[in-house]
A and B are shown apart, each in its own frame.
Chain A
Amino acid sequence: MSHFERIRVMFGAAPQKPTRVTPEAKQVHSLKRMTKADFEAIKQHARDHELVTHKWRNRRWAVLIFANLLFTFSFWLDIQILEGALTASRFVGFHLIDLNSALQVMLAHKHIIVNLFIGTATIFVLWALLGGRSFCSWVCPYHLLAEWFEWLHLKLVSKKLVSDHEFHRGTRTVFWVIFALLAVLSGYTVFETISPTGILSRALIYGPSLALGWVLLLLLFEVVYSRRAWCRYVCPIGLTYGIVGAVSPVRVEYRLDKCFHEGDCRKVCLVPHVLDVVIKGRAADMTTPIGPDCTRCGLCVDVCPSGALVFDVKGLSKLL
Chain B
Amino acid sequence: MNDQETSEQKTDAAAAAPTPSAENRPAAAASGRAKAPVRKQANRRKFIRSSFLIGGVLGLAMLGYLPVASARKQRLRPPGALEERDFLSSCIKCGQCVQVCPVAAIKLDDIDQGFGVGVPYIDAREQACDFSCDAVQCILACPTGSLTYTKPPSLEARAGMALAHAPVLKAKEDDPEPTLNLSERIGVARLAHPESCLAVQGKGFSGQARGAEFGGHLRYVAVDRWQPVPVRDHPYERDLCDLCVTECPIKDAIRMQESIAADGSKQYRPEVLEQCVGCGVCEMICPVEPAAIVVDQRQPWSA
Residues of chain A touching chain B, judged by Cβ–Cβ distance below 8 Å, are: 17, 33, 36, 74-75, 83-90, 95, 97-98, 101-102, 105, 108-109, 111, 113, 115-116, 119, 165-168, 170-171, 174-175, 178-179, 182-183, 186-194, 198-199, 202, 205-206, 209-211, 213-214, 229, 233-234, 261-264, 267, 279-282
Contact = CB atoms under 8 A, between A and B. Distances in A.
A95 B89 CA distance: 19
A191 B49 contact: no
B90 interface: yes
Contacts of B89: 105, 108-109, 183, 187-189
B17 A282 contact: yes
Nearest to A30: B19
Nearest to B5: A263
A116 B144 CA distance: 5
B173 interface: no
A282 B17 CA distance: 7
A95 B96 CA distance: 11
Contacts of B152: 111
Nearest to A267: B5
Given A75-B99, A89-B94, A111-B154, A187 B21 contact: no
A317 to B, nearest CB: 30
Nearest to A165: B49
Q: Which 3 A-B pairs have the closest CB atoms?
A: A281-B17, A211-B111, A88-B94
Given A75-B99, A175-B54, A84 B144 contact: no
A171 B54 contact: yes
20 contacts: A74-B99, A87-B94, A90-B96, A95-B143, A97-B92, A98-B92, A102-B92, A105-B92, A108-B89, A115-B145, A116-B145, A187-B85, A193-B114, A213-B111, A214-B111, A233-B53, A262-B2, A279-B9, A280-B12, A282-B16
B62 to A, nearest CB: 7
B143 A17 contact: no
- Interface band, chain B: 35 or more
Contact of A210 (B16, B65, B110, B154): B110
B34 interface: no
A25 to B, nearest CB: 13
A95 B54 CA distance: 34
Contact of A113 (B64, B68, B141, B144): B144
Given A90-B141, A171-B53, 8 more contacts: A85-B93, A105-B91, A119-B143, A167-B50, A202-B95, A202-B118, A205-B95, A263-B9
B212 interface: no
Contacts of A194: 57, 60-61, 64
Given A187-B85, A193-B64, A206 B155 contact: no
Nearest to A191: B61
Given A105-B92, A165-B49, A202-B93, A113 B9 contact: no
A93 to B, nearest CB: 11
Contacts of B46: 166-168
Contacts of A213: 111
B94 A189 contact: no
A196 B238 CA distance: 51
Given A109-B90, A188-B68, A202 B49 contact: no
Nearest to B68: A188
Which interface residue of B47, B93, B114 has the most chain A CB atoms within 10 A? Answer: B93
A18 to B, nearest CB: 10
Contacts of A115: 143-145
B268 interface: no
A74 B5 CA distance: 47
Contact of A281 (B16, B50, B61): B16
B46 to A, nearest CB: 6
Given A191-B61, A205-B95, A108 B90 contact: yes
Contacts of A261: 9
B168 interface: no
Contacts of A90: 96, 141, 143
Given A115-B144, A263-B8, A279-B9, A193 B111 contact: yes
B211 to A, nearest CB: 25
A193 to B, nearest CB: 4
A32 to B, nearest CB: 10
